[in-house]
């Protein structure tokens, strides 16, 4: 199956000295003009996540596709979750599917939310996001503590906090600031080090 593509292409040579190693010809694939049914009839699985962007999509089709993906990836839940999530993300962004159909498709996709939640990739990204949030909170708390004791050192504290990537280290530094006897000690503590 060869979908229609626009004639736009771009020549991008990759050179090593005087020899061309690779040449890329890029083409635009107007998904919104393609018939989803054709990909489903021919079982072009790699295009399934893109189906919500195409013409002729309806909830029965998506249910059939999801059932097919479940069978295909029964031993690989991570890939199955990825496929369904891409489908869901693109469904959210499309406005070519009538609202009632879109709602029914979303209902079918939500049945597999647990796969997404248990995905190792999602758990890793969630943990990284939580760690980043904890770090930002610790940085704000450290700057607020310094600013409360010595307002003139707030900017130095902010600069120092941006250099520290451990909430625990910021907590220890905040404790030192709280117990420091004077402004000069705190100034020394919050002066950013030169890397």
Taking only the tens place, the pLDDT of each residue in 49-70 is 999 999 999 999 999 999 999 8
How confident is the model at residue 42, as a pLDDT? Answer: 94
How confident is the model at residue 41, as a pLDDT? Answer: 95
DSSP 65: H
How confident is the model at residue 170, as a pLDDT? Answer: 93
Two tokens at 6? 């626009």
How confident is the model at residue 14, as a pLDDT? Answer: 53
What lies within 8 Å, CB to CB, of 82 at 6+ separation is 119, 121
How confident is the model at residue 15, as a pLDDT? Answer: 52
How confident is the model at residue 17, as a pLDDT? Answer: 63
> Which residue stretches of the chain have pLDDT < 50?
2, 4-12
Please state, in angstroms and rounded to a whole number, the distance separating the CA atoms of residues 62 and 70.
Answer: 12
How confident is the model at residue 9, as a pLDDT? Answer: 44
The closest of 70, 74, 112, 75 to 91, measured between CA atoms, is: 112
How confident is the model at residue 52, as a pLDDT? Answer: 93
Please state, in angstroms and rounded to a whole number, the distance separating the CA atoms of residues 83 and 60.
Answer: 17
Two tokens at 74? 């029964």
Alpha helices for the chain (secondary structure H) = 36-41, 59-72, 77-93, 99-110, 113-118, 120-149, 154-163, 167-179, 183-190
Query: Cβ distance 190 to 153 under 8 Å?
Result: yes
Two tokens at 154? 């707030």
For the chain, report the end-to-end CA distance as a whole number of angstroms.
Answer: 57
């Amino acid at each position: 199956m060869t979908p229609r593509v626009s004639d736009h292409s771009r020549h991008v040579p990759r050179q090593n000295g005087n020899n061309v190693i690779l040449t890329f010809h890029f083409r635009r694939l107007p998904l919104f003009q393609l018939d989803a049914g054709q990909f489903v009839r021919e079982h072009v699985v790699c295009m399934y996540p893109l189906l919500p962007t195409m013409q002729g999509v309806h909830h029965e089709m998506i249910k059939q596709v999801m059932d097919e993906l479940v069978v295909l990836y029964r031993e690989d839940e991570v890939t199955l979750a990825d496929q369904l999530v891409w489908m869901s993300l693109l469904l959210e962004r499309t406005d070519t599917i009538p609202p009632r159909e879109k709602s029914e498709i979303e209902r079918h996709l939500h049945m597999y939310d647990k796969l997404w939640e248990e995905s190792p990739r999602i758990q890793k990204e969630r943990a990284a996001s939580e760690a980043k949030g904890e770090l930002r909170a610790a940085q704000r708390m450290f700057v607020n503590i310094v600013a409360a004791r010595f307002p003139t050192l707030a900017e130095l504290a902010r600069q120092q906090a941006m250099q520290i990537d451990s909430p625990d280290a910021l907590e220890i530094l905040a404790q030192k600031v709280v117990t420091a006897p004077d402004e000069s000690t705190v100034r020394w503590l919050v002066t950013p080090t030169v890397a």
